[in-house]
Amino acid sequence: MKINFNYKKTMPKEAILCLKPIYDDEIPVEQPEIIKNTMQQKQKQNVREIVYESENISRRMIIVRFGNKPDSSQKKREESASKVLEKLYESNEDILYFDIRDLGNDGLDLLFGLLAKNYRFDKYRTEKSDETKLSIQTITIVSDNPEKTKTLFAQKQAELEGIFYARDLTSEPPNCLPPVAYAEKIKELESLGISVEILNREKMEKLGMTAILAVAKGSSSPPAVVILQYNPENKTSKPIALVGKGVCFDSGGLCLKAVERQFDMKWDKAGAGVVVGVIKAMATEKIPVNVVGIIGLVENMPDGAAAKPGDVIKTMSGKTVEIVNTDAEGRLVLADCLQYIQKNFHPEILIDLGTLTVETIASLGCRYAGAYGNNRKLLNELKEAGEQSGEEIWELPMGEYYARQIQSSVADIKNVGEDFCGENGAAAEFLKCFVDQTIPWVHLDIAGVSWTKEDLPLANKGVTGFGVRILYKYLINNVLR
């Protein structure tokens, strides 16, 4: 449901439902007695709804207490959304007046959280629950400087648009969005000034993208590679390149996954969704950055024509790879995409994302994305962007120990390392083989953070869109530098 936003400097007299965040250690603007009483109560009830009468009209105020200002943070403000949403779902009001005069534009963090948490992928449900349906159609933000608030919130709206688009793409069932349909769908982004080029199977064969084609051999759905360019000011500087793994369904190929692990593999295209989502966010907000993205879209299925353990392929880079495990397909997809983007765009910075290894999940759980790279400055800048955005990364090791694991006796390298010996590091070393080491490069393994089996403060069960926020913040920081 689309929500309209208005901006005002004073609270209209007709306001019925008001959401008012406050700090405990500051005196609220237009402090009515009810807020005084709430703040004087000793219990730390963070969200409280008050019904009162003013000018013969019954009104409702949802008060959100963030404690003392020095103890508050963006994360705490955003994650207060869940309890507030419960109140709003019960409101049956069309208009919400959101009074942030006490917090200033810090209050927008709460609004961001409300909108992020309210997202649901329910397009295929014919009956939708009224219990989680937001009746609000208009949100009027009341602030001391409406124009500044509007500008700041526009950045957050663009970020949300990117997150929601990534969630939408990744949440699609595999039969509804196979690779070619995925590629065709994102052509709609051309209206934002994003150039979208699609490579079909024939073009990929001519280019020698044998690694992606090997993964695709077992599927009746043909693969596609999509290149997205956004450069609104036609900058001549080298672009920042983003590379995303888009395995629209991963059965494991002939090395078939266990039944209980297959269901989640409709989400194995999360890396591609993030790349598309963050570029959409940048274009929506018209951020003056030169960025190019490439996503490899493919299905990994078993079939008489499928790639087999023991096959040797020659990748687009010219390197040969022995396929030891057909379920280590994501790194093959990324390898050809990395080669294409470097050969054709000569990027200044190279960042790839994918749901790559179980070992990264075993190392970090579902709290952090794993980060691997060849450049300390880039790793530090991404870590900073992660801390600022709430999507945090943790650097994991690479090096000779892991590189030895992918040595092959019949090809240049093999596509998998050793189980229980840091195979995630071996996967990163595999990708490193396809990266020009003069280019700052980071690989983000988002396997543990791309979807959730339980409700989170900013996402319900399903796809999280992790990766959009950290890259959006990194790109904005890059522009400001």
Which residues, 6+ apart, have CB-to-CB distance to 316 below 8 Å? 207, 208, 209, 210, 211, 335, 336, 339, 340
Place of tokens 């955005």: 389
In 296-375, alpha helices (H): 330-345, 358-364
Strand ranges inside 95-233, DSSP E: 95-99, 138-142, 195-199, 224-230
Q: What is the DSSP string of 226-293?
A: EEEEE-TT---SPPEEEEEEEEEEE--TTSPPPHHHHGGGGGTTHHHHHHHHHHHHHHHTT----EEE
> On the CB side of 191, how many CA atoms lie within 13 Å of its CA?
3
408 phi, psi to nearest 5 deg: -120, 150
Helix (H) or strand (E) holding 220: none
Q: How far apart are CA 232 and CA 206, in angstroms?
A: 31
Q: How far apart are CA 352 and CA 348, in angstroms?
A: 14
Numbers of helices and strands, H then E, in the chain: 16, 19
3-state secondary structure 434-476: CCCCCCCEEEEECCCCCEECCCECCECCEECCCCHHHHHHHHH
Which residues, 6+ apart, have CB-to-CB distance to 186 below 8 Å? 169, 196, 226, 228, 276
Report which of 180, 247, 220, 246 is spatially closest to residue 303, judged by C-alpha positions: 220
Residue at 474: amino acid letter: Y
Length of the chain in terms of residues written: 481
The three-class DSSP label of residue 320 is strand
Place of tokens 């449900």: 125
Q: What Rg, from alpha-carbon coordinates, does the chain have?
A: 24
Q: How far apart are CA 470 and CA 379, in angstroms?
A: 12
For residue 241, the cross-strand partners are 292, 350
Catalytically annotated residues = 257, 331
